[in-house]
Structures are given as C-alpha cells and as structure tokens.
Structure 1
Amino acid sequence: MAAEADPGTLLKAVALLGAAVVAVPLFRKLGLGSVLGYLAAGLVIGPFGLGWFSNPQSILHFAELGVVMFLFVVGLEMRPSHLWSLRRQIFGLGALQIGLCTLALTGVGLAFGFSLPVAFIGGAGFVLTSTAIVMQLLGERGDIALPRGQRMVSILLFEDLLIVPLLALVAFMSHAPVDPDAPPRLVSFGIAVASLAGLIVAGLYLLNPLFRILAAAKAREVMTAAALLVVLGASVLMEMGGLSMAMGAFLAGVLLSESTFRHQIEADIEPFRGILLGLFFVAVGMSLDLAVVRENWQLIALAVPAMMLAKGACIYLVARLLRSSHGDALDRTALMAQGGEFAFVLYSAAETAGIIDGEVNDNLTAIVVLSMVLTPLVVLATRRLVPKDKPSLEGVEAVADQTGSVLIIGFGRFGQVMSQSLLARDVDVTIIDTDIEMIQSAATFGFKVYYGDGGRLDVLHASGAGTARAIAVCIDNRATADRIVELAGHHFPQAKLLVRSFDREHSLKLVNAGVDFQIRETFESAVSFGEAALRAIGVPEDEAAQIAGQVRRLDAERFGLEIASNDTSAGIPLILKNTGADPGNVPKPTPFTAPRREGRRLDEDGPDAGDAGATAPGAGSSATE
C-alpha cells in the first residue's frame, strides 16, 4: 500500500508557494521588484511573523541550490576565452574593492566597540555581497551581458573564491580545541586541488560524450535529469573538497559553455533555478529574527546604515578610480552595498571556532539580512533620485542647414529599410534621429544620420523641411508622429507627407489629418506572411497571391467605408471564410477620396494625392495589431 503524503508537509509547501504568488506580483506592481516581494513573504510567514515555519535555516540550506543553479546558468554564458579576458577584472578590480571594503568595515566594527578579531570577521562577512540578489536584479534589468554587469559578475566571482581562504583563516584563528580526527591542513588543501582537477577533467572529457549518448536515446526527461546531475554533482564535489558549491556549479557551466547542448541544458535547468532562487529569498526573509532586532535595535539600527555606507563609499571610490562613470559607479554601489548569503556560513564557522559568541552571531546575521532586505529599496531610490548619465555625443553631429530632397525622421528598422529604395536611386536624403547609439552604429556602415528631434519646428527647419519634396515620418512613437504631422501640414505644405502608422485607428487619424501616404507598420508583412503560410501548406502560388490580394482589397474597402462614415472605432477585420462562394463576390462600398494637401507633387508624372493610389491604407486588420 502506497504511503500517504504528510499533510503538514504539503500544507507548508502550499504556504510557501502561495506567499510567493501573492507577494511577488504585488511588489512588482508597486515597482519594488520581485526580490523584495520574496523577502517580505518570508518575513510574514516565518517564525517571527505568522509562525507557519519554525526552522528557516533548513529551508535556507536547501534553497541555496537556487544560487548554485543561477551561477551554473551564468557559467554557461561565460566561454573560457571570455572568462580569461575578465581575469584582470576578477583578480584586479575584485581584489582592490574587497581589500578596501574589508579595511573600512573592520574600522566600523572597532568603532562599535568590538574586539579586532570580531570586527574583522564581521567586516569580512559583510564584504561578501549577496550573489543571489545582485544577479537577480541584474537579470531583471537585462544588464548581465553589459560591461557594467560583467564587472559586477567578476567581483562576485572573486568573492565566491574568497570564502575558501576566509574559512581557512577562521580555522587558524580558532579558540576551540583541535579535533584529533580532522585531517592535516596540507591534506585538506590537496583534497581541494584534487576536487577542482577532477571537475575540470570530467567537464572536458566526459560531459559532452554523456549528453551525446542521452540525446541519441531521445528521452527528454533523462536529459533534464542529466542536467540536474551535472549541477548538483559539481556542487557536491566542490563541497567535499572544502570549496564553494556555487563555484563548482559555475565552473561546470563554463566547461559546458562551448557544448552544442548548452541551450538545451539551460532550458532544462531554468524552471528549477527560478523556483529555488525565489525560495532562497523567502528563506532569507524568514531568518530575520525580529526578537534579536527588538532587543538590540539601537546597535542594529546604527550598524546597518553604517556598514552599507562604508562599503558603498569604498565601492564608489574604486569604481571612479578605475574610470567608471558617475552613474555606473552609483549603480554598482547601490547593488553591492549589502552583505550576502556566504556571511551566514562565515559567522557560523566563527561561532563554532569560538571567535564570536552566539549573541554576536545573531546580531551580525540580523544586520546582513536587513541589508539584503533594504537593497531593492536602495536601488529603486538611486535610480529615481540620481539622473542618468547623458549619453556621449562623440561622433554625433547635430542637424543644421540641410537641403535634402527627402527628409527621413527616424532611422530604426523601418526607416533603414524604406531608405534603401531612395538611396538606390541616388535621391538626396537627410536623416535625423534621437537615438545616439543608433547614430553611432549607423556611421560604421556609412550612413550619415544627424541628431535632431523631429517634433520640434526649429529642428525641422534646420533639417531642410522647408525645401524638401517629401517628409517621411518613420518613428515608432505615435504621439510624436502626430505632432510632426501637425507641424508639417501647417508649415511645410510643399512637401509630400508619408507617415508610418501604428495601427488602424492611427491610420484613420492620419488620413483625416491630410497625409499623402500612410501605412500600418505590420500590415504588408503580415499579409505576405499569410500568403507564405498558404504556399507552405500546398496552396498553389497563384491562388495564394490572389487570396492575399483579396485581403488587401477588402481591407482597403473597409478602410474607405470607415473614412466615409468618420468611424475610427471599428477594429474587427473582414474575414474571408471558406463557404464555397466566390470571394470576389463582395459588395463594393462607395469609393472615397482622401483629403488632399495643397502643394507640389513629389513626382510630377505620378498620381496626384487625390487619386486612388495616393493614400495607401494597407496596414493591418485590427486596431490592436
């Protein structure tokens, strides 16, 4: 007979999941981030909140696997060559920041009246930044792959390596009696080196053949099990060697970063990583002992900001000395000014070694946990209070006194494609945009793009709108496009006005505003895509083309009816149904004439603005495309 699950265990699992499901969306809605949501959820349901859990340390120990898996995923993105290129940041920047922060934090501990060994242990633990919090916040912002993110990752890697010598130093400083059964230190060092060498050998010669065999078996669940085996096996091997579990997982990821199975492994690990990392933050929130905070509130209330400010000042100083911008230095300061999860390991080892007592351990742990809780708020305040650094204008030329035949406003994907036809005919064009990075990138491909806001009348004059034969509005901002249409229609009537439309409703508004040509940004590509789908399932090419043409014609006719009735609310497309009837037998609506703008035509031999082809309604089939 199958054993029944313990209802209490299931109830606790439901409580953990329920707290996260409620808190995280709420905090993200408030703009406070998911990390603070997890921490708050843990505080509420923990032993010092509602008391649903009595032993958060056991959950915290299990949930550290989330940090382990996170570093494994980061390792998958770090090819050995790339990691080697970061060696100066890891051992140079990391060592400089950690050394300076350790000195400052030890000084803070001495100022609070602790002895030198206790102050050093407290400061060294606080130096070890929370890898989980920083990586989660960087990941949510998409900054891990950016240079500023890579610098922070480098420092975090060095700090993960630092836990090993710190634990060795704690053993050297120990006041506890020597365990006669403990292996000599030289033997312990040899075990650590052997563990590291074994992991590297396995990663280089065993993992890829293993995944090839499993892939040939075509058993998806076995591939997932193998991915978990690699992460957990590497972590256990490093822990047995006295090293960091997280570092073992990271090295395993690096060794698999060149593997053809890298993306599959990452996809298999991702669900477990996300859940366990969230559980880790919940467990950290649970571990905040409110009784300790209440009994020592004066010490903790002063120590938390003092430690964070001292560490933050050192981080900012190092960043500025190494020529980081003011904004990047402040961002790094806000993200890394807290203590981390490895501090708990160091403080527990120091208590076991007799360097600190239980009360000091509790106080230091509370200080670290509170600093972790405050970090999302500090990051949020920093981003709101400190203005962003202005982007460099190096290599970017402001628009002035241009006289191109065609003025193109906006040089994103849409503008780049549309400009090719003009450039192929050697038409004299002037291009303006406000995206500095795009302007600099375009210059490397030989495009001359000027910096200028098309929504300003003076910029339009300087861009040559007064003499241009056509103005092409290719930006993806609907409000700015409407502003440009209004300015161009009033001040530059000689120029044909062609506008990229956002959706059907926007197209109707543009036609009523008197533009010469508008096109919804996704309509033609979507119709062509549908035509290709018909061909893909065996429909003859001529029939597929006929159906696509019919979609365009029906959309144009409905668009005409909406213009004639001044109805901008219709958003349901006409659907061609396979009823057996000839799709061509559709009642034709009353023809319409688009509003005409006075002025010279772009092509004197072409159709006038009032002709049937002057306004191209073809753009999408609904107002929400």
Structure 2
Amino acid sequence: MAAAQHGPDIVHIVALLASAVIAVPLFKRLGLGSVLGYLAAGLVIGPYGFGWFNDPQTILHVAELGVVIFLFVIGLEMNPTHLWHLRKQIFGLGSMQVVAAAILLTFVGILFGVSWQVAFVSASGFVLTSTAIVMSVLGERNELSTSHGQKIVSILLFEDLLIVPLLAVVAFLSPQHTESSTPLWQSIGIALLCLGVLVAVGLWLLNPLFRLLARYKAREVMTAAALMVVLGAGLLMEIGGLSMAMGAFLAGVLLSESNFRHQLEADVEPFRGLLLGLFFLAVGMSLDLKVVAANWGIILSGVLALMAVKAVCIYIIARIARSTHDEALERAVLMAQGGEFAFVLFAAALSQGVIDATVNANMTAIVVLSMVLTPLFMILHGKLPKTAPAQRDADTINEQHTVLQAGFGRFGQIVNGVLTAAGYRSTIIDLDAQLVSGMDKYGIKSYYGDASRPELLLTAGLEKASVLVVAIDDRERALQIVRFAREANPNIKIVARAYDRRHTFDLFKAGADEIIRETFDSAVRGGKRALEYLGMEHETAEKVGNLYYRMDRNGMGKMAVLYEPSDDMFSNHAMIEEGRRQDQRTAEAVQAMLNGEEVDESL
C-alpha cells in the first residue's frame, strides 16, 4: 500500500530527471545550450505538453533554491575587500542601467494603453534580469572573474537590492493602501536589523562552527552545515523583506576569507547544479500556452518591444561606461530578458490590486517567453561577425593579500598549491588569458595582466605584500619584476624561479632572496633514484642527494659574485675555476660521508 502511495511521486521524479538527461545533452550537441534544453524539456512535460505536471509553481518555488545556492558560491569568490572595490559598479553602473531601463519600459507600457501605475509595475518587473540565466551563461564561459563578467554581476547585485523598495512602491500604489500598513521606516529598519544579525553571525560564529565540525571529520555533517548556512541566511533576509539570494550571497562573502571556502564550495556544488536545472525546467512548465494563444498578439509584441527597448538601453549605458561595442552588444543580448524576481513583484501587485489577473497572466507569460528566447538570441548573436579583437586590457585587481605571485604556469601552480594548503591566499597575475579563465573552474582566482608593468604590481599590493613569488618563464620580465619590487618594497621577501645557473646569477644581482632553479630539485631526486638502482641503500642515497643539494646551493652565492652578464659562461675563467673547485669539494664531502668520515661542507 505504501509503495502504491509513493509510486506517483517516484514517477514524477524519474520523469523530471529523464527529461533533463535526454534534452540537455541533445540541445548542447545541437549547439543550443543547456538552458534552452531545460526550458524545452519543462515545456514538453508540463501542463501544456504531456501534462505530467500540473503545478509548476510549486516546483519553481523549490527550484529557486538553485539560484540561492548559486549566489552563495559567487559570494565565496568575492571577499569584502573585492566587494568594496566593486561599489562604484554596483551602485553606479547598476543604478544607471536600472533607472534608465525602468523609465523607458514604463513609457512602452503606456503606449500599450495601460495606466502609468500598471506600466510602472510591469516595467519594474521586467527590468529585473534573470540571475539564473545570466550566471549560468557566464559560468559556462568561465567569464565570472573577468572584467566584463564582474560588471554584469555588479548590476545583478544592485537589482537584487531593489526588491524591498519596489515592494514598498507597489504597496504605496495599491488602492487598498491604508494608514495601518507597515510604515516604510519600519520595513527598512527590519531589513537593516536582519542584515546586521547576518553580518554578526558571519563574522563571529560561522568560522568557529566549521572548525568544530572539521575536528570530528564528519563530511556529511559539513555538507549539512553548508546547506544550513545558505538556507538560513536566505531565510533571515526573506524575513527582513530582502531576497533569499541576497542573503546567501552575503553569507558567501562573509565566508570568503575562511579556510573552509573550497570545502564549502565543493559541498554545495551538486545541489546548485541540480536545483538550477530544476529551476529552468519549472520555468518551461510555467509558460501558459493557453494564455499565449488567447493573447498572442499583445504577448508577442510585448515581449519583442520590452526586450528591444531594454537591450538598446543596456547597450547605450554600457557604451557610456566605456565598454567596447562587442562587449556592450553581448551584455545587451544577455540581459534583455525579465527575471525570476518579476514573478514575486507581479504576485504582490496582484494581491494588492495594482494589476488585475489578466495583466498578471500576460506579464508572466512575457517574462517566461523572454527567458526562453534569450538562449536563442545568444546563439544568433554568436553567429554575428565580430570586430577584430584588440589587445585585451589587464583585469582590474580588486584584492590585495600577503603573497603576490607573478606567473601561474606549471611551476607557479605548485607553489600556490602549497601556500593555499597552508591557509595563505595569493594575488595571482598571469599573461595567459585562457589559463586565467580556465583556473576559475577550479575555484582559483587569478588576474590577467603583464606583471612586469610597475603600475599593475602596485595595484596588486606590492608595497604592502610580505612575499613576492616570481614564477614566470620569461627571463627578462622576471628580472624586471625583481628589480622593481626590490626598489618599491625593500623589505619584501622575493622567491624567484630561475631557468638555469646564468639566470640564477642575474636574479641574485637583481635582489631576489631565494632563487629556485626550475629543474634542480627534480634533477637531484632523479640522481637519488639512479643511485638506488645502482645498488645503494635508500637512506644512503637520500643522504648523498641532500648533501649535494646543500653544497651546490651554498656555492651559488660565491659564483654569483664572479658572474659578469656581459661575458660568455665559458670565457669567465675565474668563475670556471671556482666551479671546478666546488665540484671537487662536493665530491670529497660525499666520499667522506660514504666512508663514515667527518664531513666538511665548507666551500
């Protein structure tokens, strides 16, 4: 009997998963993207397709948690210092775009013959871009950490902040508005109180909580705690009248400096992807084909007019903010749709009598249809000819850490891995744009730019950093970085990668404190293993290798004094003699050790 009762629920779950498993790979194979695949699958299995689901709003409400978790992950990548540096983009660029678009879209609504109140509410809902769609596209392209992506994220954050004032405006416009309604100052006070509680908990309770849980090494409890933090922060903000997504984002920001940041991101990632896919499925189900059929003229013309006007507005604002033509056009196409928060605003307006049921149904259909059309427009935009790509500008560096690292190739990645494992964060600069974008997949923040440029090093915090790691494979640029760093910050400790002995000597003269020949350590390890294969005991081979390592490194300083950059390595007789003398002393020391004699490591 129990099986019979739970059978339909299992069938529905299987149907949801199967539709996604079939549609998403198919649409990605066709080059249409995963978002459009989810939307199409939702339309097919929804009440206006096969009718397997008749209550998409319930699924949509649950699936919005995917957007909430997504914002939490974004918050983990933005520490408070980074967020502070984005303040001009959030409140400057964000307010310019939102205010201009809201005014223009209100006029569009009036031209359709509705009152200014209805037009304003409709425009305000449509101006709130879909965080889920935009973030998904940026994430798939690894553009969240780029300058272009950061501007879009800033605008989305400003739009999330508008939920409270917009709901207050809807209440003010309501014909049912009475003096007994909650005063605006009280609503703002509650919101600020909830925000203060969240910040206090994040600063003083979350890190001790995760340290305590980590001590017991219960992975499933850590995952539960991560979800509790995300949902609890969202719930607290919802109580204060703000969006759940904003609460989750702030929780992520407060934990961005935590040693558990990568662990938290790994714990919530599976839930984020699954719930975000479920969100798009629910949006597809929500497209009421009956409403579209009955009012197809006004809905089709409405969605095209609103998307066109919003796109033009976004393009103009982007160009005013000095974005390139291609960047502005891409932003306009990507952000021209309405978003999930429009549903919340329209529901509030309907309940308070600002709009009627017909307007609510039409605007809901327009917003959903705009979300469905966005992936198609992105595909069409991708086929347009682009202007010749200019030299990419260096990323804006919005964070400064104790460690500054130049270069993130095969050598630099290992150095950073050691530092990260020990709890240190680095400001990383690299000149490989593809590498910088790709490393974002691993949750490693880096910046595109030429680290040999003095102004970029100063922006990255060279004057305040304690350690500079120079891990680039360009000899001349490495020397430029070391020389400038030693002048700009005499107290900084410089660890530099060297190509060979000659490069080692150059770096020594330039002022590096610790110089690592990129193949020296691995070559010594190779020598140890060769000794073992020749019959030497492992412990003895280790001692020989370690002794050789110490003596060779001690001798580098003496040879560096004799080194003349203008001379050929094999024409500097003084250095050649010193090298031969050191080789002889090293061999004598090793033989003495093998014979059990006292070892003299002096050179």
Shorter-chain TM-score category? 0.5 to 0.7
What is aligned with 1:238? Answer: 237
Count residues with an aligned counterpart. Answer: 433
Give CA-to-partner distance per residue, 1:426-459, whole Å, 9 cap, x none: xxxxxxxx9999998497676689xxxxxxxxxx
Structure 2: distance between partners of 1:124 and 1:84:
27
What is aligned with 2:377? Answer: 378
- Read off the aligned partner of 2:130 and give its amino acid letter: S
Structure 1: distance between partners of 2:25 and 2:157:
30
Is residue 26–residue 37 contact of structure 1 (8 Å, CA) maintained in 2? yes
Aligned pairs for 1:103-182 within 5 A: 103-176=103-176, 178=178
- Read off the aligned partner of 1:141 and give its amino acid letter: R
Give CA-to-partner distance per residue, 1:479-510, whole Å, 9 cap, x none: xxxxxxxxxxxxxxxxxxxxxxxxxxxxxxxx
- Read off the aligned partner of 1:78 and give its amino acid letter: M
Is residue 327–residue 389 contact of structure 1 (8 Å, CA) maintained in 2? no
5+ residue gaps, structure 2: 395-407, 411-430, 436-447, 454-471, 478-518, 537-603
What is aligned with 2:263? Answer: 264
Structure 2: distance between partners of 1:155 and 1:59:
27
- Read off the aligned partner of 1:203 and give its amino acid letter: G
What is aligned with 1:195? Answer: 194
Is residue 171–residue 177 contact of structure 2 (8 Å, CA) maintained in 1? no
Structure 2: distance between partners of 1:349 and 1:238:
18
- Read off the aligned partner of 1:22 and give its amino acid letter: I
What is aligned with 1:45? Answer: 45
- Read off the aligned partner of 2:75 and give its amino acid letter: G
What is aligned with 1:310? Answer: 309
Is residue 23–residue 41 contact of structure 1 (8 Å, CA) maintained in 2? yes
What is the SS of the residue equivalent to 1:6? Answer: helix
Give CA-to-partner distance per residue, 1:47-82, whole Å, 9 cap, x none: 111100001000000100000000000000000000
- Read off the aligned partner of 1:79 and give its amino acid letter: N
Structure 1: distance between partners of 2:531 and 2:371:
60
- Read off the aligned partner of 1:13 and give its amino acid letter: I
- Read off the aligned partner of 1:82 and give its amino acid letter: H
Aligned pairs for 1:355-504 within 5 A: 355-392=354-391, 441=450
Query: CA distance change for structure 1 residues 114 and 79 in 2, over 3 Å: closer, same or farther?
Result: same
Query: CA distance change for structure 1 residues 112 and 393 in 2, over 3 Å: closer, same or farther?
Result: closer
Deviation at 1:176, TM superposition (A): 2.2
Give CA-to-partner distance per residue, 1:595-619, whole Å, 9 cap, x none: xxxxxxxxxxxxxxxxxxxxxxxxx
- Read off the aligned partner of 1:329 and give its amino acid letter: A
Is residue 391–residue 436 contact of structure 1 (8 Å, CA) maintained in 2? no
Query: CA distance change for structure 1 residues 360 and 218 in 2, over 3 Å: closer, same or farther?
Result: same
Structure 2: distance between partners of 1:413 and 1:247:
35
Is residue 33–residue 375 contact of structure 2 (8 Å, CA) maintained in 1? yes
Structure 1: distance between partners of 2:119 and 2:109:
4
Is residue 442–residue 448 contact of structure 1 (8 Å, CA) maintained in 2? no
Query: CA distance change for structure 1 residues 336 and 539 in 2, over 3 Å: closer, same or farther?
Result: farther
What is the SS of the residue equivalent to 1:143? Answer: coil
Does 1:249 pair with 2:255?
A: no
Query: CA distance change for structure 1 residues 447 and 196 in 2, over 3 Å: closer, same or farther?
Result: same
Deviation at 1:188, TM superposition (A): 2.7
Query: CA distance change for structure 1 residues 329 and 292 in 2, over 3 Å: closer, same or farther?
Result: same
Deviation at 1:381, TM superposition (A): 1.0
Is residue 176–residue 352 contact of structure 1 (8 Å, CA) maintained in 2? no
Q: CA RMSD in A?
A: 3.3
Larger Rg, first or second structure (1 or 2) = 1
Which structure has the highest helix share of the two? 2
Structure 2: distance between partners of 1:257 and 1:371:
34
Query: CA distance change for structure 1 residues 184 and 48 in 2, over 3 Å: closer, same or farther?
Result: same
Query: CA distance change for structure 1 residues 382 and 213 in 2, over 3 Å: closer, same or farther?
Result: same
Give CA-to-partner distance per residue, 1:527-580, whole Å, 9 cap, x none: x99x97x96xx9945479xxxxxxxxxxxxxxxxxxxxxxxxxxxxxxxxxxxx
Give CA-to-partner distance per residue, 1:339-359, whole Å, 9 cap, x none: 000000001111111011001
Is residue 235–residue 244 contact of structure 2 (8 Å, CA) maintained in 1? yes
Give CA-to-partner distance per residue, 1:389-443, whole Å, 9 cap, x none: 4223999xxxxxxxxxxxxxxxx979xxxxxxxxxxxxxxxxxxx9999998497
Structure 2: distance between partners of 1:270 and 1:299:
40
Query: CA distance change for structure 1 residues 387 and 203 in 2, over 3 Å: closer, same or farther?
Result: same
Structure 1: distance between partners of 2:334 and 2:108:
20
Fraction of identical pairs, as percent: 60
What is aligned with 1:404? Answer: none
Query: CA distance change for structure 1 residues 234 and 437 in 2, over 3 Å: closer, same or farther?
Result: closer
Structure 1: distance between partners of 2:158 and 2:234:
17
Structure 2: distance between partners of 1:393 and 1:60:
40
- Read off the aligned partner of 1:285 and give its amino acid letter: G
Structure 1: distance between partners of 2:350 and 2:244:
21
- Read off the aligned partner of 1:261 and give its amino acid letter: F
What is aligned with 1:25? Answer: 25
What is aligned with 2:68? Answer: 68
What is the SS of the residue equivalent to 1:52? Answer: coil
Structure 1: distance between partners of 2:184 and 2:390:
53
Is residue 73–residue 253 contact of structure 1 (8 Å, CA) maintained in 2? yes
Deviation at 1:175, TM superposition (A): 1.4
Is residue 106–residue 119 contact of structure 1 (8 Å, CA) maintained in 2? yes
